[in-house]
């Protein structure tokens, strides 16, 4: 509401010293964000305590679903990183009202210090958004491939590794901000290291699908799209981590495209996959599969049509955050705009399909429409208030598809 009444003009980063002297509602917005940070911290603590203390009987750490591992790693990041940005916003408010020089050079402050504080949180926040999507994809692919999750333990450990290494690479956003050459080399090398646990996950997902009995239902389509799109995000991230290349690509459309392949191609596609996968369990209804697949096609085509041209624009030198541009950039902008409309129509079809099914569909969902082995599918759809009539006991990890058992096979 504050942004609507008196819109901020600093961008989402609130970079000092401009944000300190801005006449817009920057301080009110930063104060609201400071309070909101407590929600993130408490949520992270809640998840950590839940995973440690409230697992059902028999659910050891190596029987937990990979989604829970991903949420656990996310919660650790939330709990440790959010206080830093909270303190940073508080310092910004104090400097504005009391004139104490933290970030303003006129008062003896250092604007680069603000960038360090800001990105120490704001790079891990990317993993706060993406790690749950990693967990979702890890749940969906074994179900629709009818194969055990390849390298289950490594997938779990990779989530923790991403959370740890994610705290060590924040200044790759600042390679052209005037940090020392030694620091730039360090952050460049460590950023390459983030690709290792991420590549482990991609390798394990692809290996799980290899020679599997794949069922191309809507959740699986989104999961496969996630793998494809995130590979593009990771590959282009290597370019931005390379010092000699980042000098030219920084603050261009190349960064915009990379970011959206990470967040929209990763976190948002993962969210849509999760909504379709768990929709029968949440609502007790089945959505229209044909409409869902049509929406997926629009989303996938529209997304790539929107952001692939932006990689080209970035390589040609189109800077970000400019409302005007040279005539030679117009064709790619036009193509990107068309793709954005197609992408928007796709999301609209997907969400309307789910909402219509939730309120008007008469097709009841069975307890386990996908023959999944994970715990949530062993109760009715939607679950009773207590989730289970009696507390279940876990005897195996939830990805033993294709493993013969007494009375048949999974």
Q: List the domain boundaries for the chain.
A: 2-387
Of 336, 333, 342, 357, whose CA–CA distance to 280 is shortest?
357
Using one digit for the tens of pLDDT, what is the confidence trace for 195-235? 999 999 999 999 999 999 999 999 999 999 999 999 999 99
Q: Is the pLDDT of residue 404 over 80?
A: no
* Predicted local confidence at residue 410, as pLDDT: 44
Residue-wise DSSP of 105-161: GGGT--HHHHHHHHHHHHTHHHHHHHHHHHHHHHHHHHHHHTSPPTTHHHHHHHHHH
Q: d(Cα 374, Cα 398) in Å, to the nearest integer?
A: 5
Superfamily of domain covering 2-387: Cytochrome c oxidase-like, subunit I domain (1.20.210.10)
Q: Identify the pLDDT of residue 405.
A: 52
**More confident: 336 or 3:** 336
Does the pLDDT at position 267 exceed 90?
Answer: yes
- Quick one: average pLDDT of 295-307? 98
pLDDT tens figures, 19-69:
887 777 788 888 888 888 999 999 999 999 999 999 999 999 999 999 999
| Mean pLDDT within 273-299 | 96
pLDDT in tens, 308-324: 999 999 999 999 988 89
Instruction: Give CA–CA dist 339/203, Å, rounded.
Output: 30
Closest CA to 125 of 62, 175, 183, 82: 82
CA 329/CA 252 separation, integer angstroms: 13
Q: CB–CB of 244/342 below 8 Å?
A: no
Q: What pLDDT, on the 0 to 100 scale, is given for residue 7?
A: 78
Q: How far is CA 40 from CA 76, 115, 284, 393, in A?
A: 11, 21, 30, 31
Coil vs helix vs strand at 257: helix
Which residues, at least 6 apart from 19, have a Cβ–Cβ distance to it below 8 Å? 10, 26, 30, 92
Task: Name the percent of the chain lying above pLDDT 70.
Answer: 97
Percent of the chain with pLDDT over 90: 77
State yes or no: pLDDT of 346 exceeds 70: yes
The answer, yes or no, to whether residue 260 has pLDDT greater than 80, is yes
């Amino acid at each position: 509401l504050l942004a609507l009444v008196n819109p901020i003009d600093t961008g989402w980063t609130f970079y000092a010293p401009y944000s300190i002297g801005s006449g817009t509602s920057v301080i009110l917005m930063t104060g609201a964000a400071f309070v909101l940070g407590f929600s993130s911290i408490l949520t992270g603590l809640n998840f950590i305590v839940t995973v440690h203390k409230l697992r059902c009987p028999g659910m050891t750490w190596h029987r937990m679903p990979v989604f829970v591992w991903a949420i656990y790693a996310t919660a650790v990041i939330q709990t440790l990183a959010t206080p830093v940005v909270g303190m940073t916003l508080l310092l910004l408010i104090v400097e504005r009202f009391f004139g104490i020089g933290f970030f303003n050079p006129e008062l003896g402050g250092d604007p680069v210090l603000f960038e360090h504080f800001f990105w120490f949180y704001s790079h891990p926040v990317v993993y706060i958004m993406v790690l749950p999507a990693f967990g979702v994809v890890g749940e969906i692919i074994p179900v629709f491939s009818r194969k055990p999750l390849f390298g289950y333990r490594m997938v779990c450990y990779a989530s923790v590794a991403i959370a740890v290494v994610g705290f060590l690479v924040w200044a790759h956003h600042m390679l052209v901000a005037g940090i020392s050459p030694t620091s730039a080399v360090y952050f460049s090398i460590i950023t390459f290291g983030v690709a290792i646990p991420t590549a482990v996950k991609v390798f394990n997902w692809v290996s799980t699908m290899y020679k599997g009995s794949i069922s191309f239902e809507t959740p699986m389509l989104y999961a496969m799209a996630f793998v494809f799109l995130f590979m593009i995000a990771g590959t282009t991230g290597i370019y931005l981590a390379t010092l000699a290349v980042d000098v030219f690509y920084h603050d261009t459309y190349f960064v915009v495209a990379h970011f959206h392949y990470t967040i929209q191609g990763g976190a948002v596609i993962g969210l849509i996959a999760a909504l379709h996968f768990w929709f029968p369990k949440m609502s007790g209804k089945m959505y229209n599969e044909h409409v869902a697949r049509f929406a997926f096609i629009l989303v996938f085509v529209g997304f790539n049509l929107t952001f692939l041209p932006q990689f080209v624009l970035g390589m040609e030198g189109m800077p970000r955050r400019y409302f005007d541009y040279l005539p030679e950039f117009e064709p790619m902008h036009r193509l990107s705009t068309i793709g954005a409309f197609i992408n928007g129509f796709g999301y609209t079809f997907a969400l309307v399909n789910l909402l219509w099914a939730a309120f008007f569909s008469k097709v009841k969902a069975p307890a386990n429409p996908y023959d999944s082995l994970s715990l949530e599918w062993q109760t009715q759809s939607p679950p009773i208030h207590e989730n289970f009539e009696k507390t279940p006991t876990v005897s195996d990890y939830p990805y033993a598809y294709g493993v013969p058992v007494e009375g048949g096979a999974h």
